[in-house]
C-alpha cells in the first residue's frame, strides 16, 4: 500500500472516530450533569403517574419479563429487562418509606427461577408483616407460574379477564443430542468424579435412576409452590393440587376457581385499594433508577450500535443460563 492510500485510510478512520464521538457527546449534551455525577440521597426517584388530592401515596412496582437474576451486568438487555436485585431494593424502599400507604405490584411475567421467585415472595411477606402495609397485585397480559407464586401472598389479586395466569408447577428441561451426534459421527468424551456428575447430559439418554433423582427434586419444589398458595390464598392443599396441574387459566377462570379476588384494570386496582383502606384520591407513584453515567453511556451506546448491541446482550444471557435449571415458568 503506497503512502497516498495510507493517508486516505487514516483520514477515513479519523472521520469515523469524530462521527462516533459527535453522536455520543450530542446525546449527552442536554444531560443534567449535576444528577449524573452526584451521589443521590435515595436509590430511586419517584415518578408521579397519578396526581391525587390527598396526602396518601401508593407505590407501583413493575415485574416485567422473566424473573431471573442475571447478575446485574451492564449489557443493554440487562439494563432494559427485569432486574432482580433492583426490584428487591424497590420493595424494601416502599416498605420503609413512611409516606407510602400501600403497594401495588403490576405483574406481567411468565415466571422464572425458583430461587428468585421465592426471594420476591419472601420480601412481599416481610413488607406486609414488618411494615404493616397492604400489597395488591394487578395482573397484566401474563402472570403465570412464578408470576403467580409471587402474587399468592398479596392482600388482593386483581386480574384482567383475559390475563393468562396459573401454570402452577415446576419444569426442568434439557436437550438430548445423542441421536444427532451418532448420525453425524460426533463423539462426546466425559470424565467425571461420580456416577451422577453429568446428570441431564445432552450427549446421552437419561437413566431411570437419574430421572428418579430429578423428579424428587421437582416434587419438592412443587410442594413448596403448593404451600405458598395454601398459606397465601387460605386454600386446602388438596384443592391447590387439583388446580395446580400446570394448566393456565384466563383471569375469568381464575376468578371462578378462587385464584384471584377480582377482575379489573390497573386503574380499578388503584381505586380498590383507595376504597378498601379509605385513602381518598391518592398520589400514585412509580420508582425509577436515579440516572447515572453508566445508564447514560448505555443509552448512548444503544443509539449508536442498535440491534448488534441487543444481540450481544441476548448472547450474554444465553451464556449465563447455560445448563438445566428448575423453573417456575410458563413456556409455550
Cα distance between residue 33 and residue 23, in whole Å: 18
Structural element, H or E, at residue 288 = strand 283-289
What are the helix and strand counts (H, E) for the chain? 12, 11
Question: Both ends of the chain: CA-CA distance in Å?
Answer: 56
156 catalytic? Reply is no
Alpha carbon 140 to chain centroid distance? 14
Which one from 75, 117, 145, 151 is the annotated catalytic residue? 145
Cα distance between residue 260 and residue 252, in whole Å: 9
The b/e string for 197-233 (b: 16+ C-beta within 10 A; e otherwise) is eebbbeeeeeeeebeeebeeeeeebbeebbebbbebb
The b/e string for 103-126 (b: 16+ C-beta within 10 A; e otherwise) is bbbbbbbbbbbbebbbbbbebbbe
Q: What number of CA atoms fall less than 13 Å from residue 45's CA on the CB side? A: 11
Which one from 192, 197, 236, 303 is the annotated catalytic residue? 197
Alpha carbon 226 to chain centroid distance? 21
145 catalytic? Reply is yes
Please give the positions annotated as active site.
145, 197
Amino acid at each position: 500500500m503506497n503512502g497516498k492510500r495510507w493517508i486516505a485510510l487514516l483520514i477515513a478512520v479519523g472521520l469515523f472516530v469524530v462521527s462516533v464521538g459527535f453522536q455520543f457527546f450530542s446525546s449527552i449534551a442536554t444531560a443534567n450533569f449535576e444528577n449524573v455525577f452526584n451521589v443521590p440521597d435515595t436509590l430511586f426517584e419517584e415518578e408521579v403517574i397519578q396526581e391525587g388530592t390527598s396526602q396518601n401515596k401508593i407505590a407501583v412496582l413493575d415485574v416485567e419479563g422473566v424473573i431471573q437474576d442475571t447478575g446485574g451486568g451492564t449489557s443493554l438487555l440487562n439494563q432494559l429487562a427485569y432486574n432482580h436485585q433492583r426490584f428487591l431494593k424497590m420493595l424494601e424502599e416502599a416498605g420503609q418509606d413512611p409516606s407510602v400507604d400501600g403497594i401495588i405490584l403490576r405483574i406481567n411475567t411468565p415466571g422464572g427461577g425458583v430461587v428468585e421467585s421465592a426471594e420476591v415472595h419472601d420480601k412481599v411477606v416481610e413488607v406486609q408483616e414488618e411494615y404493616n402495609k397492604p400489597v395488591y397485585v394487578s395482573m397484566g397480559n401474563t402472570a403465570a407460574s412464578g408470576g403467580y407464586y409471587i402474587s399468592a401472598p398479596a392482600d388482593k389479586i386483581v386480574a384482567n379477564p383475559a390475563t393468562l395466569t396459573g401454570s402452577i408447577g415446576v419444569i426442568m428441561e434439557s436437550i438430548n443430542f445423542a441421536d444427532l451426534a451418532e448420525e453425524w459421527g460426533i463423539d462426546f468424551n466425559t470424565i467425571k468424579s461420580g456416577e451422577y456428575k453429568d446428570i441431564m447430559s445432552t450427549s446421552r439418554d437419561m437413566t431411570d435412576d437419574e430421572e428418579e433423582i430429578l423428579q424428587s427434586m421437582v416434587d419438592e419444589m412443587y410442594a413448596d409452590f403448593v404451600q405458598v398458595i395454601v398459606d397465601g390464598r387460605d386454600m386446602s392443599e388438596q384443592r391447590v393440587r387439583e388446580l395446580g396441574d400446570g394448566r393456565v387459566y384466563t383471569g375469568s377462570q381464575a376468578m371462578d376457581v378462587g385464584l384471584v379476588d377480582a377482575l379489573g384494570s390497573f386503574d380499578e386496582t388503584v381505586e380498590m385499594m383507595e376504597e378498601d383502606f379509605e385513602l381518598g384520591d391518592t398520589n400514585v407513584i412509580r420508582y425509577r433508577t436515579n440516572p447515572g453515567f453508566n445508564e447514560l453511556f448505555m443509552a448512548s451506546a444503544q443509539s449508536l450500535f442498535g440491534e448488534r448491541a441487543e444481540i450481544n446482550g441476548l448472547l450474554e444471557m444465553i451464556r449465563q443460563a447455560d445448563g438445566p435449571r428448575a423453573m417456575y415458568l410458563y413456556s409455550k
